[in-house]
Amino acid sequence: MNPPFSYIPLLPPLLAVVAGVLLCDYVTSEMWFGFVLLAFVCIFFAKRLRPFLPVIGAVLLGWVVAVMARPDLEVVKLLDNRSVYTAEVKSATETDYGYRIFADIYAQDGNKINTIQSVLYIKSLEQPFSSGDIIDFKADFDSLDTKTDLPDELNIDENYIRQGFDVKAYPLEDSIRVTGSVGGLKGWLYDIKTAAIDRLVFSDLSEDLAAFLAATIFGDTSLLHADMRQAFSKTGLAHVLALSGMHVAIIILALYIILFPLSLFRKHNLRIIITIILLWIYVVMTMFSPSVTRAVIMATFVLMAYVLYRQNVAFNSLCGAALLIIVFSPYSIYNIGFQLSFAAVAGILLLSVRLNPFRMGTLRYKFAAIFTLPVSAVLATAPLMIYHFHQFPLIFILTAPLFTPILTFIISAGMFLLMIGLPSGFMTDAINWCYSFTTEMIHFSADFPGVNVTGLYISGISVILLLLAVPLLAALIEYRKVVFGYALVAIGFAVTAVEYFSVLDYPECEHYVLLKRDATNIIIKDGCEMQVITTHKQTELQALKEECEFRYADYLGKRKMTAVNVVTDKLITKNVKYYHPLLVLPDTRIIIAGADYVIFPNNCDTLIVCNGFRKDVVTLARSVKPKTILFGRDLNPRLRKRYRAELEAAGFKVE
């Protein structure tokens, strides 16, 4: 038997590197801590404690790469809205309000600067943007803030920080323009990707099928409709829409068929090496998607083992792929795609063979694998799906084996049609009909009552415990030892106890004041409803409602709140009485002073001065006698500074 590709088990160093990244993120990133870890390495080396030396060394490695990858959040102080910045667009996504662009800023007023990874929010859809564009713009810059306004709020800025972004920017109106595109190999690959997606969109394929293929071949999900995403999620098929090992396997099969002539000339190794090179080109085209990168690294290990006449150990290859990704991109551990991808493959490796009751290699084994593969993947990813998405598709045990092979065939057929130029005719019509029929059945399945359990919330401790249950279940099936059964029961009791003691009681009514850059919002928990008092324009209320439903989804879900209402001038409920500008709550009175405010005596606890207020702020404060005075961030900065000085001179305290 050929020797293994590596004699070193990579799971312990992988866990140690992850521990190092977590220590940097949750304990400290100060240099003294690095020297402490280095001192332990030296002590273990001097004492010849060799079993512990690689582990502590891997912890130090994880801590170092995490420190090096931390974004520079102080760089925002060096940026202003008068300079012209040049950046390369990494990705551009259409949203309800315009574009969200991930870009690398590399020049200021034509002078090269250290690369600044930025998130740009553009309130316009008039000018299209795509990956690889070079743009010039002026912008107001803001720091990424890990603080949230509400408990359980989706912390978007924290997610950006963990992806390595330094700042967020709001380009000034009409200041942004596309000046060119990136050159070299990367630019050529971007152009190929863009041209291929355009060819899909303008072909005879249906609009929905073109969007599906753009997502499953190139990772561009911007064309997918929300109802399609929801239907796939409800039926446990969301993994099909995300680039993964399945898609890489299809590409490997296609490349092997295309490169088959090399085997006729006994150039087997050349065929493998070309396949590996093309796979890594595909990784670049998908912007180093974690799941694709993982699959390609594993494929590289498998193929190189064949070239070098070595035996490949699948689980060690998986750990090696994770280790490489984390070393080069340490904060990938927080990426949901990274977590789901590795958990799914680990579950398949641990459970699929053991759950299959038939002998490996037989026809019955292969048929049963259609069920055991998706079941293994879903069991391993279930804790993460519940933690991140708060839902679990009960119908997956039927839909995954039924629809995954059909959708895989559609992806393969789409790749083939793309390679031959997407001709019109029978093949295009056939794949259109096949996809249309399949999606109709998926929607039909998604509409069944009870197919998807929602409103599930578990703690991080429970997730870890449930993930530990996967290898224990595999050990129980493999060795039939009662101790593993007892361990699983203990985990069940532990999860139950953790969730029972983590349940909180929430008040009937509470409120939060949100001073945003474009408006002032007051969020109120009013029984089972969320009331949003806002200074936004009437035309922006629907977008604000959708943003609240998205950003505060966990806040709403944990408190069993079922609706979001957005108002600007009047609201009367059991707990809330609002006649603009006075808001009366059970425990406080708030006055919102804006453009149409008329000063009159009316005592309050909090006074909020917003955009448009032009009267005497001291007279206002004396008439309402507030305990707290706040300035909306939409208020002109010069007015804010002047009002603050006048109020402080009059003896009022301003927060």
pLDDT tens digits for range 98-155: 788 899 999 999 899 988 999 998 877 677 888 888 999 998 888 888 788 888 888 8
Question: Encoding tokens for residue 566?
Answer: 């957005």
466 or 157, which is more confident? 466
Question: Encoding tokens for residue 16?
Answer: 């140690």
Question: Encoding tokens for residue 133?
Answer: 């564009």
Find the range with the poorest average confidence among 79-88, 217-226, 391-400, 593-602: 593-602
What does each C-alpha distance from 467 to 335, 339, 431, 470 come to in angstroms?
17, 11, 39, 6
- Give the pLDDT confidence score for residue 482 in this predicted structure: 92
DSSP 8-state code for residue 349: I
- Give the pLDDT confidence score for residue 477 in this predicted structure: 92
d(CA 93, CA 100): 5
d(CA 110, CA 117): 17
The model's pTM is 0.83
- Give the pLDDT confidence score for residue 155 in this predicted structure: 85
Q: Is 139 helix (H, G, I), strand (E, B) or coil?
A: strand
* Phi, psi torsion values for 569, nearest 5 degrees: -135, -30
Which H or E run includes 210?
A: helix 207-218
Q: What is the mean pLDDT of residues 326-335?
A: 88
How many CB atoms within 10 Å of residue 550? 11
Across-strand partners of 579?
Answer: 570, 582
Taking 80 as the threshold, does the pLDDT of residue 422 lie above it? no
Taking 60 as the threshold, does the pLDDT of residue 609 lie above it? yes
- Give the pLDDT confidence score for residue 1 in this predicted structure: 46
Question: Encoding tokens for residue 250?
Answer: 């299809």
- CATH fold of 73-182: OB fold (Dihydrolipoamide Acetyltransferase, E2P) (2.40.50)
Angle at 491 between CA 485 and CA 493, to 5 degrees: 105
Share of the chain above pLDDT 90, in %: 15
Return all residues near 284 (Cβ < 8 A) that are at least 6 apart.
185, 186, 189
Q: Are 531 and 573 in contact (CB under 8 A)?
A: yes
Q: What is the pLDDT of residues 499-544, one digit of tens each?
A: 999 888 888 899 888 877 678 888 999 989 999 988 888 888 888 8
Q: What is the pLDDT of residues 539-575, one digit of tens each?
A: 888 888 888 888 898 999 988 888 999 988 888 998 8
d(CA 454, CA 451): 10
- Give the pLDDT confidence score for residue 154 in this predicted structure: 84
Tokens 């006055």 sit at which residue? 591
Q: What is the mean pLDDT of residues 327-336?
A: 87
Taking 90 as the threshold, does the pLDDT of residue 233 lie above it? no
Question: Encoding tokens for residue 570?
Answer: 């009047």
* Phi, psi torsion values for 205, nearest 5 degrees: -70, 150
- Give the pLDDT confidence score for residue 598 in this predicted structure: 67
Q: What is the mean pLDDT of residues 590-606?
A: 77
Q: What is the mean pLDDT of residues 42-56?
A: 82
Question: Encoding tokens for residue 314?
Answer: 């699948």
- Give the pLDDT confidence score for residue 517 in this predicted structure: 66
- Give the pLDDT confidence score for residue 631 in this predicted structure: 86
d(CA 160, CA 145): 10
- Round the average pLDDT of the chain to a whole number and report it: 85
Q: What is the mean pLDDT of residues 268-296?
A: 83
19 or 315, which is more confident? 19
Q: What is the mean pLDDT of residues 59-63?
A: 92
Taking 70 as the threshold, does the pLDDT of residue 209 lie above it? yes
Q: Are strands 139-143 and 167-171 parallel, antiparallel or unpaired?
A: antiparallel
Q: What is the pLDDT of residues 362-372, one digit of tens each?
A: 888 888 888 88
Which H or E run includes 578?
A: strand 577-579
